[in-house]
Chains A and B, each alone.
Chain A
Amino acid sequence: MNRLLTSIIMYFAVMTAMAQTADIEVSYRYSHPVQTMRSAEPDVTNQYILLTDGSRSKFYSPKTEYIDSIESTPEGFEKFNTFKRICYEKKQSDQIPRVDGSFYVTKSKSNYRMLTYDIASATKFRWEEQLPNIKWNVTDSTMNLLGYECFMATADYHGRKWTAWFAPEIPVSDGPWKLCGLPGIILQAECDGGQYRFVADGIQQVRNPEYKIYGNENWDPIKREEFWRLRRECLDNPSRNRGTGGNTIVYKGINYTKYLPKNIVDYIETDY
């Protein structure tokens, strides 16, 4: 009897300990220029979520993940297609859920790996990198974000200079996108010039975290530099520009055809 009681108590103790795992979710608004490189302003805003337990993390767009999760099984893919077709026929295309942000980043401290999933030329790609060792320069400036005192740090990363604000009160060395390596979670980050920006707008504890990427096998391997070069090449492909209304963009009084040049606006990574 005693033994049974002990094991029941043990069971509950383990369960409560499990329930206490510190998975947190931070929601960010990611502002950036449109992918067609037709604007140099951060006109597009997506919602992203950083899910982390301190040793591994997933940075994802919840709306996109919702669709990827439906489409990750053949039956789901088929059903979703049927649903879309019915919506179009009924002229209710606004009912169809739409993807939001395009990429995922997962980081793992146990094997120092970082995986990026993104789309170029309408194809899903993924590549692997070493978990970056960003040389942050922590400054004395502080700012209050979501009720947390945040310190400012700056660093160069993938061709851009980033300014990040991190909260030491949350001892998770992680952040939005690929940014990490500070003694506290990054709640805001902005590159020089302000074209790319992540701003946290919510933070909460999670009960049933899911770190998996749905349909992992649907993403083709690629090298990082190749991916960005491919994206750049797609800009010259006229099919990408169809329906964007005119082929001339005026920026600061100068006309450009199809898209703005690299020195005015480039991707979040510029070292490719």
Chain B
Amino acid sequence: MNRIVIYLLFLAVAVSAAAQVNVTGKVIDKENNEPLVGASVIVKGADGKIKKYATSKGDGGFTMSLPSVTGCRLEVSMMSFAKKTISLDSVSFPITVYMEPGTTLLKEVTIKADRIREQGDTITYNVGSFAQQQDRSIGDVLKRMPGINVEQSGKIQYQGEDINKFYIEGSDLLGGKYGIATNGISHEDVGAVEVMENHQPMQVLSGISFSDKAAINLKLKNKAKATWSFHGDAGGGYSWQPDGAIWDGELFAMAVMPNFQNITTFKTNNIGEDLSAQATDFFASRRGTDLSRYVGVSLPGVPNLSRKRTLFNRSALVSTNALWKLGCGEFKTQIDYSFNRITAEAANVTTYFLNDGNRVVTESHNGVDRSHSLSGKFIYELNQKTAFINNTLKTNIDWDDVRLATTGSLPNGQSAKLPDYYVSNRFKMIKRFKGKHLVTFQSVNEWESLPQNLECGMLNGELFKQNISDHAFFTHESAAYAFNMNGVTLSLEGGIKGYLRSMDSQLPQLPEEIPGLTENVVNTNYLTVYATPMFEYWIRRVNLSLNLPVSYAHYSFDKAIANHDEVYFSPSLSFNWKPNNRFSGTLRGGLGRSPMNLNLIHPGLIMTNYRTLKSGVDDFYNSSSQNVSASFSYKHTRHGLFANGRVMQSWSHVPYTMAQQLYGDYVVYSYADAKNDGKMLMAMGNIGKTLDFMRGSCNVNGSFSRNESHMLSQQRSVNSVRTGWSVGGKINGNPCRWFSFDYRIDYSDSRLTMNGMSESWLSTMENELGLTFIPHSKWQWTVSGEHYRNELTEHNYKDIVMLDTRLTYQLNKRIEFAASLTNILNKRSYNYTTYSQLSSFESQRWLRGRELLISISLRK
């Protein structure tokens, strides 16, 4: 028995002894035979995993015990010595490891800037970390930055709100025409995009008046500063539809110096890019002259399809913008000229939904629109902490000539000449005294003339000629005083507004079917005296502002209708809460009464186009409205997360309603006394996030809207509700050096309900995918495409796929060659159906066919 126990004990000891290997040894410097302290000694298994580790002690010794060392290797390393690897399969311990000098090569990673940084109210996006190989302008990169949204028009929003300033190196060179910069400046010249939240552009108001808008500032790289930089593109090629030559060219020059800035650009193309949009002033306030065109002969547009696919154009744009710093102030000039010639063809079927059955009108259009626009702006501005002075002189001359030939139930040719002449001067001065008192003077004077000439030649030889002359002068003089104490600002603004307008129209002949007068001589003048007390509370994280504008107005209409005296009061309240840097919430509400659009006052008929006439109101009306809205924004810059959402509800009460009456093939719109109530609900949300693991970002958005209105058609009341919702998402990334992608999807659904009868939901879906491959640093190949899926009638879908490709070869940093093939599948036509309030509209449109463009780009 004892023997067995001893035997078993022996066995156990032997097994455990066999199971443990003592790995011991010494690390010695081979050069001088001295022991090395602090060397790292690792036993790695056959799979490369770390089994055990130790550090050499004062005598260079190390000791570890492992169950087994079969297949293992010993790795000894130390800074300034070459790594030593020894297989442990056939060594006996203790072992001596001799280390030889060597360098431990570091894969150096320079401390890189974050993609998004936040300091106070400024958020800085690192442009290089969002740009992709195929991007050209800074606008292409802005689209990828979460929190920033670039609309189709080029307008920039930050967290759902339009920006209020666009700076280049802190200077406001372009004002609202920042599209020139976003489309022109190369992203390689921009180091960072800064977003300044709650930006108050007037320094004199800083700390006194709250702003919930953000501004964008482009921080240029040093190489683009204090010098002129140029780049240019020239391309030519062939198009299958319209059959012929195509071109695309651009010259861009920019100087950003401490006391002088200039951006000058020239662009021209006929490949479907409307350049006049690039010179749009996104900050332009509504003109005080408030004229609008009666004549509306426009070429039909295409919803749900990228404009580049459908626009048959010849466009040119010249823009030169300069800024000089003079002492404390600055002087700016902005001069633009654009030309746009657009041709369009369309076949349409319009169905009017009437209670006694539907009426169908078939037509085909073929038209040309030539427009020229010349504008000049001259600004002097002094923007200091105690004083603000701005004088802006602006002129705008537009010519718009449209010719449109129509066949169908009313064959005819229309020709409209629609020039517009506008001059304005705005002067504003604010002075701050003793830090607390603000005095403001403002003077605005505007003049505008909007003559309209329409000729309609019918197939039966009838010719309708309509001439309208419409001009207005507007003046607005005001003074304000504000007092700030401990975060509370009280202010009172008072002023007068004067308005003189005269319009006359003549249409000597009228289609026989239509009854009524066709001559108008109208003067719509007013004089308003107003006072606006304002209260603003702004302490720490809360801002509350209350506006109580009250005005008295005298309207005189020179016998067209009776003169009126009116009092208006439109209070509004807004509340903003920003508990921390991440969250901001705003509540707004307002109500009030406002006068009608004075353009509607004309006793006689005015022809809008060959088929539509409008008659004005015969009384003066006021409308009233109420609105409430709530919005929030949230950001977490370290996680690259941006979110915002808003809900709006508004009610409007208009004492008149628009009615349409059909006389044969003609439509006559008129206004009638009615209680017309509208109700609108809108909700939208947006979430953006950086995807750092692939240098990308993504965005999800959604919206819902519901519009309810009540109107009169053929003496019967119609209640119509339009409901719509949409969701969209986009994602882009650069997962590896040779590949990047962009994907976007948008889906929307809408429905019209009339008097409780619902039509079906009609959806549109759009997918867009772009893949870029960079097989070699000099070569780049992009394949992209769009898929549109439109529901024409219920469950009846129209799909269309467009494919493009582009190959780029970069000869060196200055010269690049590219070849692009657009609409590879050569899709030539596109059909769609849309619904307006009382009608449906089916259309066939033509697309730009396959196009081959070869281009060269040069840059300095």
Contacts and interface: CB of A to CB of B under 8 A. Distances in A.
* A is bound by B: yes
B30 interface: no
A204 B49 CA distance: 26
B847 interface: no
A8 interface: no
Contact of A138 (B41, B53, B77): B53
Contacts of A183: 40-42, 50, 53-55
Contacts of A96: none
Interface stretch (B106-114, B128-136, B368-376, B604-612): B106-114
Interface in B425-482: none
Contacts of B106: 24, 170, 203-205
Contacts of A129: none
Interface stretch (A66-74, A143-151, A233-241, A256-264): A143-151
Interface string A41-61: 000010000000111000000
Contact of A202 (B38, B49, B80, B111): B111
A161 interface: no
Interface in A166-185: 168, 170-173, 181-184
A140 interface: yes
Contact of B541 (A109, A172, A182, A245): A245
Is chain A's interface secondary structure helix, strand, loop, or mixed overall? loop
Interface string A197-213: 00001111100000000
A202 B49 CA distance: 25
A203 B108 contact: yes
B50 A20 contact: no
A204 B112 CA distance: 12
B716 interface: no
B55 A170 contact: no
Given A202-B112, A245-B541, A140 B49 contact: yes
B103 A20 contact: yes
Contacts of B111: 27, 201-202, 204
Nearest to B45: A140
A204 B38 contact: no
A183 B38 CA distance: 10
Contacts of A204: 106, 108-111
B37 interface: yes
B38 A20 contact: no
A222 interface: no
A112 to B, nearest CB: 10
Contacts of B216: none
Interface residues of B, number: 30
Given A20-B80, A45-B638, A173-B40, A168 B75 contact: yes
Contacts of A245: 540-541
Contacts of A110: 37
A168 B38 CA distance: 14
Nearest to A109: B38
B174 interface: no
Contact of A109 (B37, B107, B109): B37
A22 B541 CA distance: 51
A21 B108 contact: no
Contact of B55 (A53, A147, A173): A173
Contacts of B39: 171
B104 interface: yes
B78 interface: yes
Contacts of B53: 138, 182-183
Contacts of A45: 638
Given A31-B638, A171-B39, A204-B109, 17 more contacts: A20-B80, A22-B104, A53-B79, A54-B38, A55-B37, A138-B53, A168-B75, A171-B77, A173-B40, A173-B55, A183-B40, A201-B109, A203-B109, A204-B111, A205-B106, A245-B540, A245-B541
21 contacts: A20-B80, A22-B79, A22-B104, A31-B638, A94-B120, A147-B107, A170-B106, A171-B104, A173-B55, A182-B53, A183-B41, A183-B42, A183-B54, A201-B109, A202-B109, A202-B112, A203-B106, A203-B108, A204-B108, A245-B540, A245-B541
